[in-house]
A and B are shown apart, each in its own frame.
Chain A
């Protein structure tokens, strides 16, 4: 047994994606209007003017087609005070969330009101649109609403081709925690050790170890230190270049089954011609210099052929 702290490892995990969506005729018309400083609503089945416009009636699901332009001033129907705005919200200083019923509309539009303080907010107060500096055809073309006594900000509309697409960047932050078993494995790597764990029910050795044996549903407990050599069970030759690729193709990504393990993991096989790699080939880890080690499998730069005779197919057939 290796003595390693059992406190789980954690690290910031930031994920992001620019969601790009087509708008269709109703939302496209609304977005195009916003860019040009007009606000389109649509008449619902019950005669109400819905803003923002709905493609289908919220109650009857009837397709809606009668557009109605509404005003750029309106009245606050309800509000809440946002003292500490979060990333991405319309304003970076304190503001009110509000449902604003624009003149000529029958429903409230959710947006921000830049009132300065909660005592300047009241239900029934009148507000007007403050347009964004650079309109693109998005709900964010309304920078926010503001009380009528605010100093107006001069902003120019944009005229052009119809807006048909919308891109919404989404960025979310997490504190990602490895399981206790994964943490022992990662700390082992930092010391140059490959630590797996044996399932108490089926005796299979997992590396990385799992919080629960996927076959038996019980935590893996007994630690097993594995050697840094094993066998290629299966592999593929990467010929296609892609964004972020760190090695010039062709190269080999392979499943490596360490001697004594029951599950292979994915790694690189270098140090020979890609065409020489084969199922059953014996390989050995090539570690990076010790001063570059961290809590990561990247401490092993790649695997290389060890020159030993190939393993017979039967020896790894159950691990494909």
Chain B
């Protein structure tokens, strides 16, 4: 396989322009361009939500009003949650890196339904616009929390319907992407690419896609029911109209718990890609990692009510859901053990993407282990709905998924753009992110155990010291993020040209030029080896190193 001849005969996806100007992007059906479109949208939403988080932490500097009033604060935490969850973390890795690399990693020209893929992006943007438009309407921004719990969401006078419909539309974006990925994995694998030769990122995306297809319709239906109840006053969830508020909570979490696995599974897949590349050895326990993704996806369906231990469910339900919750922790733990074992006797090169992954393993382990405190009944009823939950969630979702998102940006950047960022600066950003993150969120574990409930605009003065540390942490964290993102943007504009395989990776995306040609492969490759077969690529890798 010779990269040089490929790049000479094929236009890169960035240079291939079948349509003029902006339409080459807005009407593209190329999975790589669609991935970038998602990335642009997501980065805008991400920074808006970071800004909101910054203001929230500023408000927490003093027990009483610091910068915003109670109503504004309530809207801020709602929007922070809605944007981060529905517009950044859920679509996140699958929509950007899944779109870009899934077809390449399985040796396909594109996803199974390229036009449907573009439609998914438009749904994503329309859903996001619904949420943005609702901010400027009479009644003011939504203030229900991202969980939309009834009866409050039925009764508040703020704009609830528009953001709800936004989430409904985003749901379809998610379902269609899932459908596309399931079909792609089943139908478009290259000859010889058996399921057990799939890279683990593909396995993770595949498990995720099934959750997207099966679980998302439930939240869609639930959202419609809330809208119907608000508009037509038909009693479904609101007891004043004869409905049942717990029914809403069940329906909401039947989707939203599996949804946290939609958020984390793809990240786990990325970790399983990056570690072998920098340890230059095959992954430890390939099948165990692949099946644990499926196990998480499956058991993840049966633990939803652990969000409701204090809601008044029967004792039996509390017992069963607590037990299952403990069991779902195991496959995630197994993955962590296998990742660490993959470092054993590797030949490890500590480059920027790997440093982000090591940070992930530490932060995600804390997030996962504190999940045990929340799964346990006795401790759960004390810390549920407190800052402990906020801390746990951010360790798993920010320390977990978002940090991996950053790792993925650094890992695949040279492949996506054919350019390289300044790696020293990328590494320099990590201590700020790490220290800021832990100051910001670890304090919240303590606050939660001390009994500070979440979604509080004001708080008792005894909590102030920890809040100050936490707020200062948020500044350090944001400083680190600014360094990291500026460095990537600078690399995009001024970066030096990158090789087709700067890290010495062996999955298919590293065997094609950077940036990839329009249809990825001139000739679909025939696969006769596992995904992390470094022995086979030893000589080629050596050449790469010599050149760089």
* Genuine A/B complex: no
**Interfacial residues, chain B to chain A (CB-CB below 8 A):** none
